[in-house]
């Protein structure tokens, strides 16, 4: 995609550096990840990954939380860590003259956290509050239920990355230290930067900063091959005025060749324009939803395709019917050539536009390494999409997102939770569970 330079360096300890020098700027944007996210939580200790990630900037061997904050503020730099299902990600920005200082702070946070007891309690309280807040959101609850249905509630990807309240409350400093020791290793780190930088100088600086960080523990993760039965869950939240619906099914990981056909089909189904066919049919034409859209989530080891909709409680049955009609349509009828051409143009155009901003650009080059796409990925991307045919899109949706494979969850004022649905839709309700939140 034009003149876009990407350089890569792999160090002896396994850490990988990706750089994109840009002369026409005075700033540097950083994105990194370490494969130490929620999926590595032990059974009975869900929440350790989240708690550890929040403590990385709350005290190191050299600085207190307040001092770390001051170091960032005095140069106008930013740095934050965020726990996700697979990895803890970190991002920051700075003026190029402050880059060495910012990288020093990154090093301290990753290598020298000390987990002060008082900071543990503060971070724990924050997480417990966020969990409670999520439990009062209909969309969040419906999504959690669907992920639990398609992956298993105690399995990676099926559990909440924040953790479980009762298990978080029992976590000790020793638990956090053990999680850190077992999962924070340089061989799990990808560090990406874009902006005003000399890659050769940067390569040497990273080598000096992180060469003392040793130790390695391989990642032994096998994608669960079991396809769980399609099922339904409902969460009664009688104090709410809206019902949120989430449909989902397991799909493919990011490195799968099937990702591209599913992504193009997803653009047609629920993304382009006013949210694709879902927006046109369910929301605009039939007026059954406040919003409706679809999402492809393809990660390192697994992925899923989901549909979200917010509806009036009186329209739940009709909205489910309208959504399943579109699921059936895209998994049984080929896209038109015009639809597929529009999806290709949208995908390449969106990627090209993203490269214009440093924050999005650094995320893209990070993902090129994280997902093992290759440093020439941007050049190959248009050709990859050009080879996708309507038949491939149809075949992959029939395999991964047909009506008989999806699970569904509804959260909101549902009453008894029993919906009168068309026979085809009943396939997703083979097994059901109900929860009630007052």
User: Do both 287 and 153 map to the same domain?
Assistant: no
Q: Which of 178, 210, 242 is the last residue of a domain?
A: 210
CB burial of residue 371 (10 Å; 0-12, 13-18, 19+):
middle
User: Do both 122 and 247 map to the same domain?
Assistant: no
pLDDT at 225: 62
Neighbours of 170 (CB within 10 A): 11
The token pair that represents 348 in the structure block: 């390449």
User: Do both 273 and 199 map to the same domain?
Assistant: no
User: Do both 245 and 348 map to the same domain?
Assistant: yes
Residue 216 forms part of a structural domain: no
User: Do both 74 and 198 map to the same domain?
Assistant: yes
Cβ atoms of 142 and 411 within 8 Å: the answer is yes
User: Do both 242 and 341 map to the same domain?
Assistant: yes
Residue 179 forms part of a structural domain: yes
pLDDT at 49: 98
The per-residue pLDDT for range 208-234, each reduced to its tens digit, is 999 999 876 666 666 666 566 788 999
Three-state secondary structure string covering 71-84 = HHHCCCCEEEEEEC
DSSP state, residue 41? P
| Mean pLDDT lowest among 175-184, 406-415, 418-427 | 418-427
Whether the CA torsion 173, 81, 180, 175 is positive or negative: it is positive
Residue 237 forms part of a structural domain: yes
Q: In terms of residue numbers, what domain contains 22?
A: 7-210
Residue 147 forms part of a structural domain: yes
Domain count, the chain: 2
Cβ atoms of 229 and 398 within 8 Å: the answer is no
pLDDT at 426: 46
DSSP state, residue 357? S
Residue 391 forms part of a structural domain: yes
pLDDT at 274: 85
Give the list of residues 6+ apart from residue 74 with CB closer than 8 angstroms, or none: none
User: Do both 299 and 252 map to the same domain?
Assistant: yes
3-class DSSP assignment, residue 319? helix
Cβ atoms of 397 and 251 within 8 Å: the answer is no
The per-residue pLDDT for range 323-351, each reduced to its tens digit, is 999 999 999 999 999 999 999 999 999 99
The token pair that represents 388 in the structure block: 């996708």
User: Do both 75 and 137 map to the same domain?
Assistant: yes
User: Do both 189 and 301 map to the same domain?
Assistant: no
As a whole number of Å, the end-to-end CA separation of the chain is 52
CB burial of residue 208 (10 Å; 0-12, 13-18, 19+):
exposed
Summarize the confidence of residues 95-115 as an average pLDDT: 97
Element (H, E) at 303: strand 303-311
How many angstroms separate the CA atoms of 144 and 411, rounded?
A: 10
Residue 55 forms part of a structural domain: yes
User: Do both 318 and 375 map to the same domain?
Assistant: yes
pLDDT at 432: 55
Give the list of residues 6+ apart from residue 418 with CB closer than 8 angstroms, or none: none
Triad 363, 216, 300: Cα angle to 5°: 35
Instruction: Annotate 173-223 with DSSP letters as a single string.
Output: HHHHHHHHHHH--GGGEEEEEEES--HHHHHHHHHHHHTT-----------
Percentage of residues in the chain having pLDDT higher than 90: 86
The per-residue pLDDT for range 23-77, each reduced to its tens digit, is 889 999 999 999 999 999 999 999 999 999 999 999 999 999 999 999 999 999 9
User: Do both 88 and 191 map to the same domain?
Assistant: yes
Residue 43 forms part of a structural domain: yes
pLDDT higher than 60, residue 181: yes
pLDDT higher than 50, residue 421: no
How many angstroms separate the CA atoms of 125 and 122, rounded?
A: 5
Residue 172 forms part of a structural domain: yes
Cβ atoms of 276 and 294 within 8 Å: the answer is yes
Q: Which residue has the tokens 């917010």?
A: 310
CATH of the domain at 34: 3.30.830.10
User: Do both 240 and 199 map to the same domain?
Assistant: no
Give the list of residues 6+ apart from residue 242 with CB closer than 8 angstroms, or none: 138, 290, 310, 311, 312, 313, 412
Q: Which of 210, 243, 270 is the last residue of a domain?
A: 210
Summarize the confidence of residues 122-133 as an average pLDDT: 98
* Pairing mode of beta strands 232-236, 88-95: unpaired
The token pair that represents 162 in the structure block: 């924040």
Helix pair 138-151, 117-134: axis angle to 10 deg:
100
The closest alpha carbon to 152, from 247, 226, 84, 245, belongs to 226
Give the list of residues 6+ apart from residue 268 with CB closer than 8 angstroms, or none: 276, 277, 330, 335, 339, 340, 342, 343
pLDDT higher than 90, residue 423: no
């Amino acid at each position: 995609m034009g003149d876009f330079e990407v350089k890569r360096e792999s160090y002896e300890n396994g850490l990988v550096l990706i750089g994109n020098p840009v002369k026409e700027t005075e700033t540097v944007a950083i994105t990194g990840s370490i494969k130490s996210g929620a999926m590595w939580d032990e059974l009975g200790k869900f929440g350790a990954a989240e708690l550890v990630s929040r403590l990385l900037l709350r005290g190191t061997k050299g600085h207190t939380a307040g001092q770390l904050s001051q170091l960032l503020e005095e140069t106008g730099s930013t740095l934050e860590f965020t726990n996700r299902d697979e990895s803890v990600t970190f991002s920051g920005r700075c003026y190029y003259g402050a880059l060495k200082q910012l990288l020093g702070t990154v090093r301290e946070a990753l290598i020298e956290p000390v987990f002060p007891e008082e900071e543990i309690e503060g971070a724990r309280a924050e997480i417990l509050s966020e969990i409670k807040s999520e439990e009062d959101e209909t969309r969040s609850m419906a999504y959690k239920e669907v992920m639990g249905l398609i992956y298993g509630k105690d399995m990676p990807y099926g559990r909440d990355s924040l953790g479980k309240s009762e298990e978080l409350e029992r976590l000790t400093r020793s638990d956090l230290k053990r999680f850190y020791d077992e999962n924070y290793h340089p061989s799990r780190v990808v560090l990406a930067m874009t902006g005003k930088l000399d890659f050769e100088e940067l390569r040497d600086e990273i080598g000096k900063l992180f060469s003392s960080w040793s130790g390695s523990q391989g990642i032994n993760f096998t994608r669960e091959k079991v396809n769980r039965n399609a099922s339904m869950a409902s969460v009664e939240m009688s104090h709410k005025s809206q019902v949120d619906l989430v449909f989902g099914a397991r799909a493919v990981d990011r490195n799968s060749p099937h990702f591209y056909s599913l992504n193009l089909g997803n653009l047609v189904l629920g993304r382009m324009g006013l949210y694709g066919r879902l927006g046109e049919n369910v929301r605009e034409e039939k007026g059954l939803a406040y919003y409706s859209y679809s999402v492809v989530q393809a990660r390192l080891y697994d992925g899923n395709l989901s549909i979200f909709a917010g509806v009036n409680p009186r329209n739940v049955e009709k909205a489910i019917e309208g959504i399943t009609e579109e699921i059936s349509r895209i998994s049984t009828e080929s896209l038109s050539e015009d639809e597929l051409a529009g999806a290709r143009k949208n995908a390449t155009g969106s990627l090209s536009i993203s490269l214009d901003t440093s924050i999005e650009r650094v995320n893209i080059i990070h993902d090129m390494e994280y997902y093992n796409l290759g440093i020439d990925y941007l050049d190959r991307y248009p050709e990859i999409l050009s080879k996708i045919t309507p038949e491939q899109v149809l075949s992959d949706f029939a395999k991964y997102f047909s009506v008989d494979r999806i699970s569904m969850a509804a959260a909101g004022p549902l009453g008894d939770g029993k919906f009168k649905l068309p026979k085809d839709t009943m396939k997703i309700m083979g097994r059901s569970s109900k929860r009630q939140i007052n």
